[in-house]
Structure 1
Amino acid sequence: MVIVNRIAGFAEEMAGWRQHLHRHPELCLQCHETAAFVVERLREFGVDHIETGIAESGVVAVIEGQGADKGGSPVTALRADMDALPMQEKTGAEWASTVPGRMHACGHDGHTAMLLGAAKYLCETRGFKGRVVLVFQPAEETVGGGRIMVSDGIFDRYGVQEVYALHTDPFGALGEFRTRPGPIMAAADDYTVTVRGVGGHAAYPQECYDPMPAALAIGQGLQALVRGADPLQALVVAVTQIHGGSASNIVPDEVVLGGTVRSFSPEVRDWAERRMGEIVAGCAAAQGVEAVLDYRRNYPATVNHAAQTAFAVEVARDISGQVIDDLAPEMGAEDFSYMLEARPGAFLFLGQGVGPSVHHPKFDFNDAAAVHGASFFVRLIERRHAR
């Protein structure tokens, strides 16, 4: 294990940044205080340019290398997400959230601290040519702040050629890097099925068009949909909600089902949406009721580029003796996917030691992982931007 000595020297400072952010979590696009904290640190470090207000509270900062030939030198973006989750924290940590119903349960506070640590080092040393673009984005957990920042043109505006990101991993040993070329996280879609009939007294079904049997048939049909899919192509179709009825003797007018669909292949994604529509229409027709499918495509699959992933793995091996380069794809989703659609790059998991899962009320980022992540970022820049 080879941690950059200078970064190890301000590990305590990074922990302080992270714990401050953990105490003050913000949601969705409204990460204004977090962004202000990030900007204050970046100005202290001496970055060359800062742009704020992208995707409402996103921040982009530029660090120029020494003696850079701006026309032909590398330009690499490093990304961290800043938003928290609407959960009540149960860690009992000294630095626990001070905001009821909000907590950093996915390590975004740690991601931000690691990128700030890399920024401090790169500003001090300038031991690279070209340009480093630091992207601090809001709303990874909700509306896709990464998508909004890409749509705003940050990659074109700053000439970004490649982009990289890390995500903390509570299922991996401390300092272990895990990744793979190709799909690493799934596309995530949501759906709602609204079944409408004619309600009435449950003792007189002949006077009603009961939406409940159709809703139950639709739910069973959707859960069984994967039986018609290619078994070698990953697909999850889950019914996670069903709402309808108010009393045992009342037939409701309406029943609503909802859930999620996860896939990796665009073809499988298209097939699932089409088949779901057919199942909904068929079950509704059989019961003489109306049913409407609202299928919402959210984050696309996170697909690592082969050459950039191979390079990132080499860099990770400079930092750690624990590198897995053939990680099985995961069915979770990430809005870094939009950045990888816009530019070649790679997404890696960084182990923080096995503990409570992300999105769990007892999850907490392990500050000991920050030196590994920041060291990875700076070594990646120094190798790709070798003078």
Structure 2
Amino acid sequence: MPQISVKGRQMPSSPVRKLVPYAESAKKRGTNIYQLNIGQPDIKTPEQAIAAVRNNSMEILEYSHSAGNESYRKKLVAHYNKLDMNLDIDDVIVSTGGSEALMFAMGSICDQGDEVIIPEPFYANYNGFATASGVAVKPIATNIENNFALPDIEAFENLITDRTKAILICNPGNPTGYLYTQEEMDKLAALVIKHDIFLVADEVYREFAYDGRVHHSVMNQAGLENHAIMIDSVSKRYSMCGARIGCMVSKNKEVVAAAMKFAQARLSPPTFAQIAAEAALDTPQSYFDEVIEEYIDRRDTLISGLKNIEGVQVANPGGAFYCVAQLPVEDADHFAQWLLESFEHEGETIMVAPAAGFYSTPGSGKNQIRIAYVLEKKSLIKAVEILEKALEAYKS
């Protein structure tokens, strides 16, 4: 029998989606499931984006430019420049979601066996992107006790070798919700300049900063013109996950030129989705103000409820819409599967994401889960109640 590749065997399963078959079976049994496992907001997509597709009269669904429609890129650059990024249209490549933008970035700056340092826990698909690109992830541990803040910069420096090509951060973080301070960004900037490597920042949750905190973009860091790569996406900002439109941004012309070759190889990003994304840039600030207020209310409801459960420890996120909770269980993977296979409370259960998949270090995060607070407040209250009942039953 023909054999699959080593890369295929090493490719990690999604900690978010691997439990889907168990959820499908539970639904067939009539169990209602509160899905806390996936970052799919229930917030309505801006009407401007929907209307732009609904009312479009094109007769031929053509390829776009490999870097994305010029009109969209111009409008996107204007949006970024309002945030003092000082970009040109040639600094932006539109991608099929932030995922492809990350693949473009890794492919453009790393060779087989090169290394990227990432604070963990991190977005689970970074492991997959690294495997697909032949890149070695060098994790650096953060901890729940201080909300997963940036480790001492010396810990990063100790990991840098001649194969290190970049430090990758998610800001605000998925799965932690941690929002980097200006001081932390300054330290990272100084480090990548010192060692002549890249700082790649996944900023898809940029708008979601809470409690008076401010997001500090990698593109606003002085002196990083040749070192900074920003990853962005419309998925979370406009509740447009299905559009699959993102972008890679860099002022480093060689990086962009290399990424363009990857972009040309996949031909072009999706046409209709670009039309929707371009229209979404007209979304008024009032939309974000309302969304942020809603997420803060949901966060506070969830965190308060989790803290009241005996044995549960939870970090308080400063941005995005996730939190990591540490449970009084030995194996969160088994617990998450048990929730779907063997437990229900009043005909309902919850679906969570085991956090081990958000780590690269073997054995880390085994008793943690990621919760996405993308459900309305009353559903989160019910979900916390179910979790408490489930933990009581699981221990007995």
| Shorter-chain TM-score tier | under 0.3
Name the one with the larger strand percent: 1
User: TM-score, normalised to structure 2's length?
Assistant: 0.24
User: TM-score, normalised to structure 1's length?
Assistant: 0.24
